[in-house]
Amino acid sequence: MTQLGYIIAGWVSTFGVLGAYAVLLINRGKAVSREVAEDRRRWMTTDMPEAAGAKGK
Amino acid sequence: MSSVHEEAPVGTGSTFSRRLGLLVAVGLVAVFVLGIFLTEPDQRINPDTGEIIGQFDAVRLLYVHVPTILMAYLAFIVTAVGSFMYLRKKSMAWDILAYSAAEVGVVFTFLGLLTGSIWGRPIWNTWWQWGDVRIMTTLVMFLMYIGYLALRSVEAADPGIQARRAAIVGLIGVLNIPIVNRSVEWWPNRTIHQRSTFLEDKFDGLTFFTLMLALLVFAGLFSWLMMHRFRLGWLQHQRDTEGLDVAISARRAEAEGQFATVAVDGSVVDGSES
Amino acid sequence: MREALLIAGKDLRVEARSRIVLNQVAPFAVLVLVLFGFAFDASVETDALVRFTPGLFWVTVLFVALLTLQRSVAVELGDSAMSGLRLSGVSGVRIFAGKALAVIVQLLALEVLLVAGVVVFYGSRVSDILLLVLTCLLAAVGIGTAGSLYGVLAVGLGVRETLLPILLLPVLAPVLIGATKAFDDALGVAVVNGWAWLSLLAAFAVAYVVAGALSYGLVLEDM
């Protein structure tokens, strides 16, 4: 295949970077969710906190 | 305050995200097989000289370059929309959306510029070209993403204030894109990007199909990444405000008449039940 | 309008007293020109310097503008002067106008100095003085307004010195492009229609006057 080097460089970097980022995200997600109390662990609660960190209730 | 909690689901995955992830993975394999092995290289015969011209196999970079660039632009729009909505509704969810899109977007923009450069080298014989409208606009967008993320990552006492500033930056950044676009267009025309091949209908069937499939798959990948990044941001927000909420509850408990006892050695013992 | 002029006047008076722009920023501007002169080895290639003067000029202006903007922001940081400004009841738009105006005036002065600098050091000849003046004016307005807005956005976070450039410079790219082209014409360096590029600078200035007027107040509320 002609210009094989460029093709490999382009595809490997794309899949590689995106794959690495995906792995990074998942690991960060697990690490942070362990630091959060169980009842707050799902991503959207019914009462959404307002800005400046104050909780709705 | 980094206590470890168990039992509740760990991480940012969900049934839907796992299914989507699987679909995307399968799709990526399909795009890979199609793009590398099954599609034809770009070869044409010059009618005047009879020699074979074209991009040959380098055209296969089309299937990674175009989707990543389009997702980069999409992410930018999401950041702008999230910024705008945050300024209107003041709800942290919009801010987290904007921030997530910026982070995912900077990854795609970087890849878009990188694959563009790699593709440009064999075709245009240069790694870079000043004066090309699309390259310049994308470059400025990339730099603005970096600025936005730099602003966002500074430790701020009040997340609400930081979010508001980031939102203003995210929104005003939109202003800059048409201005840069226009200014580069007026430069002595050194645009090397070919005019949109879609309009000139030069694609053969399988190439077109593979490109469309790649767009779809990358859109799925973008969504998957956004979901995880948003959830991560949300969890971080929960973690960071947890301390604040505990303090608020403690303060309320005091106010409601539960007195603290002072021990003999002067230390304060909280008399409330916990 | 009066209040804006009052605020601009205050900033300029602070500068007149402290003379930081005069004693530090202006010499820095000339120094950058000199450094470019060294770097381009103009003894051998006099043409290179002349050919690139517009670009070098405007890059220097951008560096100098960063310093001027840092000063504009720093003036309010002592003694919580920014809160005082906000509580004074003057609207965000007027504060923005005043601060930006002061920066614009200082930038214009620095641009005049730099024009003298390139005439002396780079042998530039001004072939279209009106174009030159208008370019300097419009560019100063664009840089001053965009810069004041981003300056106040980066303030109070403790890292403004390093944050402002990375936020502001990509945004100012069109000013650099347009002003350089206009100067190519005004200094007779290249065959180009500088007046067309003026319209780009004007569009930029208008865009950021509006953006600043709308958002400055929002940012101030949080301070």
Taking only the tens place, the pLDDT of each residue in C34-44 is 998 888 876 77
Residue bearing the bigger pLDDT, C4 or B274: C4
Residue bearing the bigger pLDDT, C137 or A51: C137
Nearest to C153 among B144, B168, B187 (CB): B168
What confidence tier does C157 reach under pLDDT thresholds 50, 70, 90?
Answer: low
Q: Using a CB–CB cutoff of 8 Å, tell me whether C107 touches chain B.
A: no
Judged on CB neighbours under 10 Å (0-12, 13-18, 19+), A55 is middle
Residue C27 has pLDDT above 90, yes or no: yes
Residues B179 and C178: their CA atoms lie apart, in Å, by: 10
Residue C172 has pLDDT above 90, yes or no: yes
């301070």: which residue's tokens?
Answer: C223
pLDDT at site B273: 45
For residues B28 and B68, the answer to whether their CB atoms sit within 8 Å is no
What are the chain C neighbours of B146 within 8 Å (beta carbons)?
Answer: 166
pLDDT at site A57: 37
What are the chain B neighbours of C158 within 8 Å (beta carbons)?
Answer: 154-155
Residue C199 has pLDDT above 70, yes or no: yes
H or E element that contains B270: strand B268-270
H or E element that contains B53: strand B52-56
- Digits of tens for pLDDT over chain B (274 positions)? 445 544 567 888 888 999 999 999 999 999 999 999 988 888 777 778 878 777 788 888 999 999 999 999 999 999 999 999 999 998 999 999 999 999 999 999 999 999 999 998 988 888 988 878 889 999 999 999 999 999 988 877 778 888 999 999 999 998 888 888 888 887 765 666 765 444 445 677 888 899 999 999 999 999 999 999 999 999 988 888 877 777 788 888 888 776 555 555 555 555 444 4
Asked whether the beta carbons of residue C200 and residue B186 sit closer than 8 angstroms, the reply is yes
Q: What percent of chain C has pLDDT over 70?
A: 94
What are the chain B neighbours of A17 within 8 Å (beta carbons)?
Answer: 107, 110-111
The residues near C31 (Cβ < 8 Å, ≥ 6 apart) are none
pLDDT at site B132: 84
Residues B9 and B11: their CA atoms lie apart, in Å, by: 7
The three-state secondary structure class of C172 is coil
What confidence tier does A21 reach under pLDDT thresholds 50, 70, 90?
Answer: very high
How is chain B split into domains, by residue range?
27-192+211-269
Asked whether the beta carbons of residue C222 and residue B165 sit closer than 8 angstroms, the reply is yes
Ramachandran angles phi, psi of A7, nearest 5°:
-60, -45
The three-state secondary structure class of C168 is helix
pLDDT at site B100: 96
Residues B30 and C7: their CA atoms lie apart, in Å, by: 63
Say if pTM beats, i.e. exceeds, 0.90.
no
Nearest to B57 among A7, A37, A51 (CB): A7
Q: Is the ipTM of this complex over 0.90?
A: no
Asked whether the beta carbons of residue C204 and residue B186 sit closer than 8 angstroms, the reply is no
